Amino acid sequence: MVASSMPTITSTSLRIGELAALTGTTPRTIRYYEEIGLLARGDRPKGKHRLYRESDVRRLVELTRLRDLLGLSLEELRRLLEAEEARDELRRAWRQSPVAQERLRIVDEALRHLSRQLRLVRRRRRQLERLEADLSESRRVALARRRELRS
C-alpha cells in the first residue's frame, strides 16, 4: 500500500476540467487554443484524455490575462507569445551553455520581450486612468449639486 503502481513522472497531472477550473476558463476554450496552436498538443493517443502540468497552468493564466486585460485577438496573442516561446527555448539552452556571451544574448532577448508587453500594459492603464478620472469628475459634479440641493 505504501508504494503505489507507478511513480509519477510529471509534477502534478491535471485533467482538462481541473486545468479549466484553476485558470477560470472552460474545457472548450482549452481545446480550441490547442486546435489553433496557442497551446501545445502534448503527444497523446487520439481519443484519450489530455493531461496537463503546472507549467500549463502558468501558460494558460498568462494567455487569458493578456487576452482579457489587453483585449488582444488570439492572432495578436500568438505573435506576442511566439517571442516568448523562443525565450523558453533559449532558457533551456541557457542551462547547457555557460558561455557568458551566449547568456547575455538570451537575457537581452528576454528584456526586449518584457519591454514590449510592459508598453502595451502601460498604455492600457493610462486609458483606464483617464476613464476613471472622467467618471470621478462627473461624480464630483453630482455630489456638489446634491450638497447644494440639501442646503
Between 22 and 72, name the residue whose CB sits nearer to its own copies: 72
Q: Which of 1, 2, 3, 6 binds DNA (CB under 7 A)?
A: 6
Residue 52, φ and ψ in degrees, nearest 5: -130, 160
Residue by residue, DSSP assigns 78-99 as HHHHHHHHHHHHHHHHHHH---
Q: Which does 119 bind (CB under 5 to 8 A by kind): DNA, its own copies, none?
A: none
Residue with cell string 479549466? 20
Q: Which does 107 bind (CB under 5 to 8 A by kind): its own copies, DNA, none?
A: its own copies
Q: Which of residues 34-93 bind DNA (CB under 7 A)?
A: 36, 46-51, 67, 73-75
Contact code string over 62-91 relative to its own copies, x by CB under 8 A: ---xx-xx-x--------------------
At 64 the three-state DSSP class reads: helix
35 lies in the binding site for its own copies (CB under 8 A): no
Q: Are 107 and 93 in contact (CB under 8 A)?
A: no
Instruction: Check residue 104 and report its DSSP letter.
Output: H
- The span from the CA of 88 to the CA of 98, in Å, is 16
Could you list the residues that contact its own copies (CB under 8 A)?
A: 65-66, 68-69, 71, 100, 103-104, 107-108, 110-111, 114-115, 117-118, 121-122, 124-125, 127-129, 131-132, 135-136, 138-139, 142-143, 145-146, 149-150
